[in-house]
């Protein structure tokens, strides 16, 4: 499948500079792209490749000033990275629409309902009273438990498990190996030192436009719901415990963990390997640095914290700057002590 520069320009509202009939059939990095491929330039440090690339079409920022002639056709847009992402999304939509129908062998309960243009891959299991809405895709080896709802245009990748009663919204992407709705870590200590399991009878609700990476785990609530709100983006290998709420457009990087009943606000950013203890409230716009350990609620919106226990990011930078000066300060203190001893000796 090939597209001309003029067709692509319509998709991303670009201004064409060069041959509008230049055709491309695939994508590549600007440093490796060949004739017939499309590339983009967003980071200025790669600009030298613009003049050597073999790409037939290159998406660039509107304000880029050329230092020398370019071989390919340029598509100028306000934000090259965003335009390229938009283009990839359109391409993916076109390719995914080719997947429809029910592959065999697979199991779909007689009470399950599937909409139009749904795809269910081989060896998938779809339980009782499941609803899979229009254009949703369930890839091979996925498990969809009883009473689950999957919204329109949602993609469930291979080997994803969605336990009973969970709700997945529209335009959601869940990557391979992720488990939605496993039991929360609920155990009551007994007098003999053993632990009694607390039944986890809630569910998980994933709202619209959420993306969850591979091998993440989102536990069902003890009572009520664990909620991932619309627009949130979760990386690979993330643990979200029971009754957690992840706010709108919050992003969490790989290997981070959020303990039970913690509420994350809107537009929170959490770095990789960060840990947040349970029953906290994290204010809107908070930024938590990688490997931070958050043990107290953060009530001030747009705060930035780092370290373990996590504390104010700016103060932490000052402390780091001072710690680097400690050897010099120690030397100066010793010199001052020697000088004082000399003054005392002279007076005596």
Active-site residue set:
242
Report which DSSP code applies to 304: E
Q: Which residues contact 266 (CB under 8 A, 6 or more apart)?
A: 229, 247, 248, 249, 250, 284, 285
Euclidean distance between CA atoms 205 and 232, whole angstroms: 12
Cα 13 from Cα 83, distance rounded (Å): 9
DSSP state of 298: B
| Segment (H or E) for 294 | strand 293-294
Q: Where do runs of H (alpha helix) occur along the chain? A: 5-12, 47-50, 80-96, 313-324, 326-347
**Which two structure tokens, joined as six digits, stand for 68?**
């020398």
Q: Are strands 281-282 and 263-264 parallel, antiparallel or unpaired?
A: parallel
Q: How far is CA 152 from CA 200, 234, 283, in A?
A: 28, 20, 31
Helices (H) and strands (E) counted in the chain, each on its own, are 5, 40
d(CA 180, CA 9): 39
What 3-state class would DSSP assign to 232?
coil
Cα–Cα distance measured from residue 138 to residue 127, given in angstroms and rounded to the nearest whole number? 13
């Amino acid at each position: 499948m090939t597209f001309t520069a003029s067709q692509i320009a319509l998709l991303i509202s670009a201004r064409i500079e060069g041959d509008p009939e230049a055709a491309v059939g695939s994508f590549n990095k600007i440093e490796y792209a060949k004739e017939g491929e499309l590339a983009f330039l967003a980071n200025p440090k790669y600009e030298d490749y613009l003049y050597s690339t073999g790409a037939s079409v290159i998406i660039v920022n509107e304000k880029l000033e050329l230092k020398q002639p370019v071989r390919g056709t340029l598509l100028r847009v306000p934000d090259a990275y965003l335009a390229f992402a938009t283009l990839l999304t359109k391409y993916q939509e076109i390719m995914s629409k080719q997947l429809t129908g029910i592959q065999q062998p697979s199991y779909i309960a007689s009470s399950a309902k599937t909409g139009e243009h749904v795809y269910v891959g081989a060896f998938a299991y779809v339980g009782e009273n499941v609803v899979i809405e229009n254009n949703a895709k369930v890839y091979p080896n996925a498990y969809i438990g009883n009473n689950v709802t999957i919204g329109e245009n949602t993609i469930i990748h291979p080997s994803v498990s969605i336990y009973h009663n969970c709700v997945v919204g529209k335009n959601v992407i869940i990557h391979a190996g992720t488990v939605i709705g496993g039991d929360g870590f609920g155990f009551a200590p007994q007098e003999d030192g053993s632990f009694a399991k607390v039944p986890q009878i809630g569910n998980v609700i994933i709202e619209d436009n959420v993306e969850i990476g591979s091998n993440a785990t989102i536990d069902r609530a003890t009572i009520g719901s664990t909620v991932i709100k619309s627009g949130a983006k979760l990386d690979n290998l993330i643990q979200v415990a029971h009754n957690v709420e992840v706010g709108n457009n919050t992003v969490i990087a790989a290997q981070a963990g959020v303990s039970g009943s913690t509420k994350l606000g809107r537009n929170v950013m959490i770095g990789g390997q960060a840990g947040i203890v349970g029953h906290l409230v994290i204010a809107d716009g908070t930024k938590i640095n990688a490997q931070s350990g958050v043990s107290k609620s953060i009530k001030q919106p747009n705060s930035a914290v780092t370290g373990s226990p996590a504390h104010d990011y700016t103060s932490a930078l000052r402390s780091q700057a001072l710690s680097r000066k400690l050897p010099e300060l120690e030397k100066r203190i010793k010199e001052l002590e020697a000088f004082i001893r000399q003054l005392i000796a002279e007076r005596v």
